[in-house]
Structure 1
Amino acid sequence: MISVGFFNNKGGVGKTTLICNLAASLAAYKGMKILVIDADPQCNASAYLLQSDVLESILLDNSHYSLDSFYEPIRRGQGYPSQLPTIVKSERFNIDLIVGDPKLSIREDLLATDWAATKNGEPRGFQTTYAIKELISRLDNYDFVFVDMGPSLGALNRSVLFAVDFFLMPLSVDIFSLMAVENIIKSFENWKRGLNDGIERHLTEEGYNFQIKHEDVGWRLNFLGYVMQQYRAKTKGGVRQPVQAFERIINKQREEIKNLCAFFGVDSASVDLGEIPTLSSVVPLSQQSNAPIFALEAKDGIVGSQYTRVNEAGDYFHSISDKFIKRVSQ
């Protein structure tokens, strides 16, 4: 099983659209078994993957064990719970889901407080900081576990990024998305330094390394790559290219990506996983139908030229799937 966090410090970059449609592409065209964990308190992935009445019935079901509930025994000092959060099926996407919970935003306080304890080498701090990793370690019956994350550099996302094997960055072509990459690099440097200090102190004071599933914790995160989204394109010689105004920002973003690759020791030539130009009206229809963009049909409201957009979406996401599989196999 390989775990991947979908993360950018900048919101509005099409992250949820990417994670859900890439998961559906891998399931439909690669035969992969995929689980999405919705760790974004805004719960956009849950709303996309499940019909509203189904999602409502889950959230109002007293037997539903949420991702937020997974933290409660840890907060009480009782250790990791034995119960997994409820896993449900997204029928049209053909993937599994751990539904999001708005209460996760409140867990930021617990995670922030215990991050200070982690840096001090305290076992309680490590237990809280690595709760998501403990959860993911129990999900080895999947090929991939994808984690949807909110657009922040807060304690919750830090915990997720400590838990996953890779992170994938969706990018939009704007100056704020460009600046977000620089912020991410600075935060990663600080987090890695703080974690390494905590591990050293824990070993000194406790005499052993903190472990998840018999493996020492540590900085394990790798950069999988990026997907460029939401730009206007022109066709030149039969090849789609961004218009000049966007091209300037894209070139600057690639320089920042090189800096990010240098931090991870990754070849910058290997991290471009593809591009998704603007797909206009088919994205809202996909959200309303709780279906992958490339699987939309007439019953979902597709008419006329929108069929071309649906077919284009299939080309984009399946191409990204191919590059994704190649990258994680390197």
Structure 2
Amino acid sequence: MKVRFWGTRGSIPVSMTAQAVRAKLITALSGAAGVDLSSHEQVVSYVDRLDFATAGCFGGHSSCVQLETGGSEHIILDMGSGARPLAGHYLGQHGGKPQTYHVFMSHLHWDHIMGFPFFTPAYIPGNQLIIHSCHSEAEFAFRRQQAEPSFPVDFSLLRADIRFDVMEPGHDYAVAGLTVSAKKQRHGGDSYGWRFDDGKAVVVYTTDSEHDVGDLAERAAFADFFRQADLVIFDAMYSLAAAISVKEDWGHSSNIVGVELCQLAQAKRLCLFHHEPAYDDLQIAQILNETRRFEELTREGAPLEILSAWDGLEVVL
């Protein structure tokens, strides 16, 4: 199974500013003093040695993740603004050939559905889109955002075969060669985490979820849901201090809680996700480094690999 990230920000998409680009250039050029950059190859080699926060970007699209299973049907997790570049990827691969897309929704807040009107396969006759969720209001939410005066193209004008499948948490479903189950999470309007198992690897997608660190029963239930997952994509929007103080009840979690739950579940990889839109690349990179250090200090068993999601990241399981 391969996991591709097309949108990793929380709450609202953000773009890199001119000031941020300038700061990266200044940092990169300051470090190049005395380095021979007289050829293209030497420039590439120098750039490849720079840290990710200087040479790269964690990205700005809101939540959208692709699971590539090797089967003929496609799996998408959430329809944030990252759904637009994902649509281009699919069209580049398959052109106008009819495809089946399974979309699993964590919840219906706007940052998680806003990319759907720009998901080109929804406009192409012959395509099938099945939108799986645990919300009975899913169809209403998708139709409403394309109704006047909010959007110029009404949902009724989409030409793909689109249907909505309401699932129940706590049950196993067979979808496109995967065993899929959902778990209810603490978030305004409710959100649901998803567990995907293809018999060889397990991916858990758990975003927009707040955790009560003092609720031992809840802690054990999530550890069971994460149990021995190969990859846990986790809402780490806030620091632990913010999550339990000024931003308590805001519906999001922290990097520290993610590490603790994954260690308890004996998961293999933790990917920090749903980045705070106010954080720049340096801040996100610092959180990643701090999280890795915390994992080392608290480790009792096998190491937990820590990643931080960025638009374009691929993880092969």
**Structure 1 or 2: larger strand share?**
2
TM range (shorter): 0.3 to 0.5
Q: Using CA pairs below 8 Å that are at least 6 residues apart, which structure has the higher relative contact order?
A: 1
Which TM-score applies when normalising by structure 2? 0.34
Which TM-score applies when normalising by structure 1? 0.33
**Structure 1 or 2: larger helix share?**
1
